[in-house]
Chain A
Amino acid sequence: MTEPNLSDVLDRAVADKVVGPPRIDAIRSGAARIRRRRRAGVAGAVAAIVAVAGGTAFLAQGPAATQPPVAADPPAGPTRLVGIGQVAVAVPVTWGRNAVRCGGTPTKDTVVIDLRHLTFCMAPRPKDTESIELAGGNPKRFAFRSEEVVEIGGVRAERQRTTCAPGALNRVETCSGAVYFPTLGVIIHAQSSTDAATVDRMLGWVTVAPDRVGVPEPWYHEKQSASPSGTKYLEQLKALGLRPVVETKKASGQFAGDLLDVRPAPGTVLTPGAAVTVVVVG
């Protein structure tokens, strides 16, 4: 095969391949991450992979991270913030909120927060469906295991590595990973029936925003205290810098002071000092 002939054949073989636009921003972010990691290494610090866009740094407990670094890129296209306290996740605006059925199985890409009315049935998770659940309180409800230490927005967090397992009903492989903030008491649990890389990418959307406060989920207080659930929730809102406005409502069969509703909905990200209406039994 002659040289001009071979060059022509190779050119034509890939000429019709669709190539996306140059990823200049991602390249710059990646290069910055490499530089910071090298600087950290030179300084004798632990290995760190810092994500520029999301303000996310990944600190390995050992000499090198065994898990792919948390991605730096926010999701493509328009996003909205969903959060609890100072922890927030930027998710595509097209995602649903609590678009789940049965025991929390997503029916489409969705954020899951403050799930209360679960039906105790089993539903197979559809393929190529992503979900991110935010929750306060004890991370053990997700069978969380702290396997690595990460730092996100300057806050120490713990990472459970991404693992995959086939679904019990339809054998669709679902991958899961999580980030837990012990000092903030918030866990982000990401699941994907696409692949493990998608879970890692979604966990890269997690940020810690000191100038924002996500309305916390109130319902885990219900079984934790002898005092009325509304009282505990009001204390939590104040501690986060939000301004609770109490409304009372009659409700038969419930104790005075117990929580009935929260507006805006848990997960809504507000500025510090914003009002949150808490409806309690009067």
Chain B
Amino acid sequence: MTDDSDFTAYVAARWGALVRAAMLLGCSDPEAEDLVQTVLERCLVKWAKVRVAEDRDAYVHRILVNTFISSRRRRWSGERPVAVFPERATPDETAGVDMTDAVMRALERLGQDQRAAVVLRYYAHLTDEQAAAALGVAVGTVKSRLSRASKILAEDPGLAELRGAR
């Protein structure tokens, strides 16, 4: 058994959840898999450190969030001017019946920090302490971000319609 044989087991167990977490953070579907691949490459390089980390999931999610934020910065710097503006996205009238669409639109209303806190806490099911470790902030900061985010999401018309439809 190689030193990092447990890495394969970890990837097999968490790949799907990490890719979906990346989607909720704001990645497109193909981009999410690329992002998680990059994250896990970095984790494997430091696997000796990750495997003995007090909280492995928090460590991996921290790299996930940081890599995602870095990818957004690179994308911005790589923006190219165009002669003709692309079609402008307009609200989808079917948002109320499309759950994924409604949730993604609602998440887009959050700030990046709030969105990351929501995804880590409510999708990845990290505790407040784990989410704080993953985000590199105090537990109180996580709680306040979640509180504000929950308020915004509770008032989101798309999600409200979704709740009404259930």
Q: Which residues of A contact B (CB under 8 A)?
A: 1, 3, 5-7, 9-14, 16-24, 26-28, 30-31, 33-35, 38
9 contacts between A and B (CB under 8 A): A3-B122, A6-B150, A10-B24, A21-B15, A23-B37, A28-B44, A30-B37, A31-B45, A33-B41
Residue in B closest to A28 when the chains form the complex, CB atoms: B44
Binds A, one of B58-66, B98-106, B130-138: B98-106
Please measure, in the bound complex, the distance between the C-alpha atom of A23 and the C-alpha atom of B8, giving whole angstroms.
10
Closest 6 A/B residue pairs (Cβ) = A30-B41, A13-B103, A31-B44, A22-B15, A14-B20, A1-B154
Given known A14-B24, A35-B45, contact A27–B123 (CB-CB < 8 A) = no
Q: Is A19 a contact of B103 with CB atoms below 8 Å?
A: no
Please measure, in the bound complex, the distance between the C-alpha atom of A28 and the C-alpha atom of B42, giving whole angstroms.
10
Give, as a whole number of angstroms, the nearest-CB distance from B32 to chain A.
Answer: 8
A-B contact count (CB 8 A): 78
Residue in A closest to B10 when the chains form the complex, CB atoms: A22
* Residues of B contacting A19 in the complex (Cβ-Cβ under 8 angstroms): 15-16, 19-20, 33
* Residues of B contacting A1 in the complex (Cβ-Cβ under 8 angstroms): 150, 153-154, 159
**Chain B CB within 10 Å — which of A13, A24, A30, A31 has the most?**
A13
* Residues of A contacting B20 in the complex (Cβ-Cβ under 8 angstroms): 14, 17, 19
Given known A14-B23, A24-B8, contact A7–B100 (CB-CB < 8 A) = no
Given known A17-B20, A19-B20, contact A7–B37 (CB-CB < 8 A) = no
- Starting from the known contacts A13-B104, A30-B37, A35-B45, 18 additional A-B residue pairs (CB-CB under 8 Å) come to A6-B118, A6-B122, A9-B103, A10-B123, A12-B99, A14-B123, A16-B100, A19-B20, A22-B12, A22-B15, A23-B33, A26-B37, A27-B11, A28-B44, A31-B42, A34-B41, A34-B42, A34-B45
Tell whether B55 is near chain A: CB-to-CB under 8 Å. Answer: no
* Residues of B contacting A23 in the complex (Cβ-Cβ under 8 angstroms): 33, 37
Residue in A closest to B44 when the chains form the complex, CB atoms: A31
* Residues of A contacting B42 in the complex (Cβ-Cβ under 8 angstroms): 31, 34
Give, as a whole number of angstroms, the nearest-CB distance from A210 to chain B.
Answer: 29
Please measure, in the bound complex, the distance between the C-alpha atom of A6 and the C-alpha atom of B24, giving whole angstroms.
13
Tell whether B108 is near chain A: CB-to-CB under 8 Å. Answer: no
Given known A1-B150, A27-B40, A31-B45, contact A9–B162 (CB-CB < 8 A) = yes
Tell whether B116 is near chain A: CB-to-CB under 8 Å. Answer: no
Q: Is A13 a contact of B99 with CB atoms below 8 Å?
A: yes
Residue in A closest to B30 when the chains form the complex, CB atoms: A20
Tell whether B29 is near chain A: CB-to-CB under 8 Å. Answer: yes
Please measure, in the bound complex, the distance between the C-alpha atom of A153 and the C-alpha atom of B42, giving whole angstroms.
25
Please measure, in the bound complex, the distance between the C-alpha atom of A81 and the C-alpha atom of B103, giving whole angstroms.
47
Instruction: Pick the residue among A7, A33, A38 that contacts B125 (CB under 8 A).
Output: A7
Give, as a whole number of angstroms, the nearest-CB distance from B109 to chain A.
Answer: 13
* Residues of A contacting B104 in the complex (Cβ-Cβ under 8 angstroms): 13
Q: Is B159 a contact of A9 with CB atoms below 8 Å?
A: yes
Residue in B closest to A8 when the chains form the complex, CB atoms: B122
* Residues of A contacting B23 in the complex (Cβ-Cβ under 8 angstroms): 14, 17
Q: Is B122 a contact of A10 with CB atoms below 8 Å?
A: yes
Tell whether B142 is near chain A: CB-to-CB under 8 Å. Answer: no
Instruction: Pick the residue among B15, B19, B38, B100 that contacts A13 (CB under 8 A).
Output: B100
